[in-house]
Each structure stands twice: as C-alpha cells, then as structure tokens.
Amino acid sequence: MKNVFIVVVLLFISACSTSNTEDHSSTADDQNAAAELPEAKVDFEHEPIPANEKTPIKATVTQGGEPVPDAEYVKFEIWHDSDGQDASKTIKAEHEEDGVYQIMHTFKKEGTYQVIAHTQVDDLHVMPHHEITVGEQAEASGHDHGNNSGKFMVHLMEEQTFQAGNESTLTTHINHMEEPFSNGQVRFEISSDQSDKHTYVEAEEEELGEYTATYTFPEPGSYTINIHYEKPEEEIHEHKKETIDVVQ
C-alpha cells in the first residue's frame, strides 16, 4: 500500500513539473512574439501627388502579421528636397481601423519630397522612408524614385518630458539607405539661448541604428540638440539639429 502511495505522489509531482514547464514555455513564446519588430507599410492614393490639394497618406502597421491598432504613435515626417530635413514638418497620424493610420496633408509646391513614417510600438521603433513626387512637371522630368543614394534619416525621440535638474535620456534613430546606421560614432552637441557653452555627450549604440546618452539639463528653456554622426573610415560626417523644450 505504501508503494502505491509513493507512485501516486511521484506522478503528481511529474504532472506539476510538466505544467510549470509548459507555462514557462508559453510565457517565453509570448515574450518572443511581443518583441517581434513591427512593420509599417506606407501607401499614397496615387502618384504623382497633386500640389495644393489635401491628400491622404496612410501607414498600415502590423506585428507578427497581425494589425496593430494601439501603436504608441505613428508620425509622418515630410520635407521637400530643396529645403532639406532641417525644414521638415512632422504630423501625428490618427488610427482609422485595422492598424491603418492616416493623415491628410497638402503639398504646397511641386518637386520631390521625402516621407518618413516614424512608428513606435511598445519600445520598438521603425522608420520606413519613401521618396515621392508632387505635380505633373516633376513626374515628366523622369525622376528616379528609387535613387536614395547618400540619404540619411535621423530622428530624435521627443516623446518624454525633459525636466531640468533630472537626468534625461537622449535617444536617436539613424538610418542610411533605409538600413540602420550601425557601428557609427554619435554624439549630442547641446546648447541653449541661456548659455554660450556647448556641451558634447557621447552616445552608445543600444540597438542597431539606435544611439542613447544621458544628460541633466541645468535649467528650463529651449535647447538645441545637434546630432553628430560619423564613420571616418568611410568619410561620413553629418549632423542634424533638433530643438526640445525643458520644463521646470
């Protein structure tokens, strides 16, 4: 009788162990699925896009093949080639349905534009880039839409609140030719109207093309963050300026 009791206990322990293993395996699978990089597919109603008319721009966001209706944000950054990225305008998109996010935008002059769909899902960021033409004359010029040679896309994360006296994390995403700009030398040049001093902070690459650094802003106000990124062996040395507000 005692032997029967021991066998029953062993079977019970084995069943519990199997159940716990399955639970842990399921949890790990869920975590891996949640960490899968999202995708953002950008669509334009037609090209060339007409000038001086409201035009829809959409991004369909998926993760693991499933629509993402609750992305932290989708923002379209848009600029005309002749103006440069420093003159870009960023517009936050609204979720329509089934992971589709949309803005209505009026392109005010003909020519070639760059459009980046900055997409944040949890702590994952993607920034697909498209080159589009506006106006019939631009289309007739025979512009090569696929020629993105030398194009760098730089985005400073500004969604957090920067507070004076507290340590802040500066994060930038950099793409080159639609691929992460990896193994680069990146530093933040920080300046403000309140001081003539320029402070340089070295950044480290946390993820492919993602560079971070910490800095404590001494006082509230408007600050200029000049993002320097380079690869001396490839003769790359570029920079992009962004402006942030620091609160009390």
Last residue of a domain, one of 121, 146, 171: 146
Q: Which of 125, 146, 167 is the last residue of a domain?
A: 146
- Check whether residue 170 and residue 131 sit in a common domain: no
Q: Are residues 158 and 229 in the same domain?
A: yes
Among residues 112, 146, 180, the one where a domain terminates is 146
Same-domain status, 159 and 119: no
> Same domain, yes or no, for 124 and 202?
no
The predicted pLDDT at position 35 comes to 61
CATH number of domain containing 141: 2.60.40.1930
Range of the domain at 229: 153-247
Q: Are 103 and 56 in contact (CB under 8 A)?
A: yes
Residues of the chain with pLDDT under 50: 2-13, 15, 17-19, 21-22, 24-34, 139-149
> How many domains, the chain?
2
CATH (domain of 211): 2.60.40.10
Domain membership flag for residue 11? no
What is the pTM assigned to this prediction? 0.59
